[in-house]
Every structure is written in C-alpha cells, then in structure tokens.
Structure 1
C-alpha cells in the first residue's frame, strides 16, 4: 500500500468516525484533523468519490490564474537564452524597456517550469541550443561558454610538424635606467616549443623582421626546414597594408602565410603567452633582482644563455612534450622530404 493510499484510508476513517459519533469536533480531535479539513475532505468525497480522498485530485488542472501569458513567457526564455547570467530582476527590467511588463517573481516562475532556476542550468541550455542549431554568438556568450564548457576549455592549437606554425609576439620587459623601455621580440615553434628572442628599445616592424631574418630563418635553413605559417596578434609591428608594410612584405618574399589572432583574445596565441610567463618566472624576475644591467647588450647575453638552456637542457612539461627538451622535439618533427628534393637541395648548396 502506498503512502497516498494510507492517507486516503485515514480520511475515510475520519468520515466514518464522525458519522458513528455524530460529532464532527470529537471525531476531528481523535483523528488529529481540524474542522476545516474535515469539511474539505467530505466535500471532495461527495464530489469525486473514493478518488477525492487522494492528495491529488483527479482530472486535468488548468493553469494558475496568475501565470504570465505565453507571449511574455517566450520573451523571458528568449532573453535568458541570449543573456543566461542575468538574474530575475535584471530580466524584468530589460523586458520593461521593451514594453513587456513582468515581475521578477514571474520570471522565476517561468524558469521554474523550464528547469532554469540556476545560472548553470541556463548556461547548459545555451550550450545545447548552440549544438542543435547554428546561431551567431555575441562576445559575452562566447566568453561564458569558454569559461563553463569543458569542450571550449580543452581546445588546443593542432600542429603536426616542425615549422607548420610559428608564433611571434612583442613583450614589454621593463624600463632600463639610462636606456629606456626594453621590448622582447619573441618567436616560438608551436610544435617543438623551440624559442628565440631578441631585446630592442622599440617595437617597430624592422625589429620584428630583424629577429626572423637574423635568428629564426637561418636556424630553419641549417636544419633543411622551412616555416609555413606565422601567427601574430594585430600589433602595428606585424600588421599593415600588404603592399607597404615591411613585415608583410618580408613574409611574402619568404612565401610564409601570415595569420592573426582575434582582437583582445591573447589565449588564441597561447604558446607564446606561456613562453612569456616562463621567461618572467625563470629569468627576468630573477636576473632583475640579482644583477645590475647597464646596457641592453648585457641583458641580451644573459637571455641567450637562458634560451640555450631552455631549448637544449630544460625538460618541457607542455602538452605532448612528455618532458623532452625542445631541440629534441624540433629535430623529431622535421618533415621528411622526398629523395629528389634532398638531391636538388644538395646540388643547390654545392
């Protein structure tokens, strides 16, 4: 016997006891009910019979008279889909500006009927809707999805061999007394994490070209490899008119594709950003407290020593590196060239 059936039997016993005793007050006192409850039980029994003794009355129940209209409910759900982190008061205020009058309690009522009471539930609804249909996401929605969704958090740049993608960036190191501002032009091979870096007193296209021409490209040529694509932010030292900008012209001459990250989204160039943090923690912050630099040349010498240790002796804990040093992975990732190309390259070198 279910709990609901036991309750119905107890109500029936109340009605029979009141009939036998011919005294409603005493019957209610014995059974532990109030007179108001007795008359409500008797009315339900007379109207619906034995089923009326159940806690839930049979038959369809209509909507609550205070429930919001379907148009307002659709407006609330649409707003919550576009802005899933807005609270009920904010939603009511936003809809009021559009001429839709609803209270914060009405918003919560709609959320309750659709299992959207928590912010997490509304974010999951946004994620499900995004999967099912193609919609244009605004910046707020993208940011929230990346924060709460494991699928967005676990995205990675896919690189399959050395030189397929090289990331570059300009990093402000600090101000050196008597010299001025010091900038680092950093370059990293995204497959092997092999890094290059040169310090300058400005961030101009000519400095960005200099580090590529004097350090990076000769290193690739020594290993019979080439760079396919370079990834940079939208800084002026990297981007400009392709027919005039020195950096763009240099990449065209070297037949290197130039890709840029989204504006104000440094995580899309995460390899170089992580390199900057490593350089800060393991080199600049230590050297800046243990040595007094008088010229940028001294800083460059110490940086070259650290990069040599970073590239050839320091085990790297990055994704897919497995504790290997960057130079080892750089050589392993060199794309295999056909024998004909090797022979042509050797004849050209001779």
Structure 2
C-alpha cells in the first residue's frame, strides 16, 4: 500500500502507463498531467510494457543481497548465548567481541530482544495465548499472605518494632479466579486452602461469573492438594466444567492469575501502611471493583476487564 503522500495509487499508475504505452503520449506530457517526474513516468510505463497491470503493484525495497549483514554463523552464536544464559546485548557483545548494536539488531531480527518474551528456565520464546470468548477458560489460584498485627506491622512501626508484633498474626489465603479472555476477576480472602474451602469458593465464583453472563467451560489450576481432592472434582463435574492442570513446576502456564496475584500485592496489600488486618481487608472490595471496572489493563489496550463483558451489570436481561 502506498504511503499517504504518494502522488500515484495503483490505479493512477495504470492510467499513466496506458497514456504512454497505448495512447502514445510523450513522457514529459504524461508526467505533467499526473504531476510526477519524467523518470517516474518512464518507470511505470516500462513496467506496464513488461508485466502489464501486475507491474503496477508495490515492490519490496529490500536489496537482493546484503554483503555487510552479520554472518549466519555469528548470528547463531549470538542466539545460542541468549538462549543459554539469557544475557543482554552488552554482555553478549563483550563475550563475542562484537558491537552491542549489532547484537541487539540480530536479537530483534529473531524476536529475542526482550527477556520478558522468553522463559527464564528454558530460554524458549513464550507462546502467549488468549481464548476467544469469556468463560472458555478460567484461571484459579491461591496466594498466601501474612496478616498485619493490630497496631501495624513493620511498614508502619519500622523494621525493629514491627518484628516484635509479627508473631502470632497468622496468614490469610486469597482465592482468586480470573477469566482468560476478559481478565474479569473474582477473589475472596479466606482462612485456609483446604479442599472444602476451595470447593466452596468455586461455587461462589461460578455464581459470580454466571451473574455476569459468563458460562464457564474450563478451569485451569496448579497441582495443589485442594485441586486434586474429591470435593473440587465433584463441584466441577456437577456443573459440567472441564478441569485442566498446569505441568508440575510450571506456574507460567497459569500466568494470568499469577500476574493478578502480583498486582494485588503491589496495588492493594502493600500499597500503603495499614494499621491492622481488618483495615486492609476492608479496602479489598473497593480495589477489586476498581480492577474490574476502572483500572486500565495493558493486555486489553488500556481498557478495564468490564469492557469485554457486554452484559456485566445485567441491564440486558
């Protein structure tokens, strides 16, 4: 496709070429008529004589040969170091005695220029996916979180004083379900991660998704004991939901809910110095509502998860 300032489209080129080749116009007259140079008029006329209408299409400007391009053997060495050690361009360049700009250019060419796109354990490029419709897959996980003692922890009292109040505060377990397509989340702060607690959580989570017009088809979890239990199996089987598990020691497979766990720690759990666990828990519903309805999501082009749920508020029922 020609750029927006191009004087001739494919149709204009064809008209110019026909004026010269078929109607016998002089090149200068045709160039003046179509407001291009004589050289341009000659080029399109020559292509029309040789290739006909097909010659009016754009051609790649890539050269047939690139004598100064980095040798293939050197490119393979760069890729090998990148995959094996996950080093940046500067360190790779130092090892191979190359210019860092050359290394970066090779990594960009093979789409290895961002470490976030590669798996830290294997060095392989991460294959990202997103299901087509809400409910096709829901990610479920549990995050263990230390409780804040009354009066505040180390963020409020300081490291030394906070250490004295820490003992006996206990833990909370944040059970979370995230829809793969929309990133809509349902989450609860519960007292444990036992099988009956997890099963009861999913019953409420499914009711939430149903109220949003989402029919859950599959659920993805890790290999935790509660997700291998009979209560968990039965609650999914009763609803006709397929249960999928991640590969052992591969939390990246459940990455969408893992990323939400990190977000809620940064933007809610540790966002400000709370004076008690009760104060922090009271702030959680408002944060979760803001996440679903107002907070822009980078994977959704800056839109909140609610933008992908047409009937989230139930106004169309």
Alignment TM class, shorter chain as reference: 0.5 to 0.7
Where do 5+ consecutive residues of structure 2 fail to align?
A: 1-72, 84-117, 150-167
1:281 and 1:252, CA in 2 relative to 1: closer, same or farther beyond 3 A? Answer: same
Deviation at 1:234, TM superposition (A): 0.2
d(CA) in 2 for partners of 1:284, 1:231: 25
Partner of 1:157: 129
Asked if structure 2 preserves the Cα contact closer than 8 Å seen for 1:176 and 1:182, the reply is no
1:123 and 1:248, CA in 2 relative to 1: closer, same or farther beyond 3 A? Answer: same
1:224 and 1:292, CA in 2 relative to 1: closer, same or farther beyond 3 A? Answer: same
Q: Does 1:323 align with 2:302?
A: yes
| Structure with larger Rg | 1
Q: Does 1:173 align with 2:145?
A: yes
Partner of 2:17: none
State the Cα deviation string for residues 34-57 of structure 1 (Å, max 9, x = none): xxxxxxxxxxxxxxxxxxxxxxxx
Which of 211, 217, 234 is matched with 1:249 structurally?
A: 234
1:122 and 1:323, CA in 2 relative to 1: closer, same or farther beyond 3 A? Answer: closer
d(CA) in 2 for partners of 1:117, 1:229: 41
RMSD: 3.0
1:232 and 1:294, CA in 2 relative to 1: closer, same or farther beyond 3 A? Answer: closer
TM-score when normalising by structure 1: 0.49
Partner of 1:226: 215
Where do 5+ consecutive residues of structure 1 fail to align?
A: 1-113, 125-141, 334-341
d(CA) in 2 for partners of 1:117, 1:271: 33
Greater relative contact order: 1 or 2 (C-alpha under 8 angstroms, separation 6 or more)? 2
TM-score when normalising by structure 2: 0.53
Deviation at 1:229, TM superposition (A): 0.3
State the Cα deviation string for residues 6-53 of structure 1 (Å, max 9, x = none): xxxxxxxxxxxxxxxxxxxxxxxxxxxxxxxxxxxxxxxxxxxxxxxx
d(CA) in 1 for partners of 2:256, 2:309: 15
Partner of 2:276: 293
Deviation at 1:201, TM superposition (A): 2.0
Partner of 1:266: 251
Partner of 1:34: none
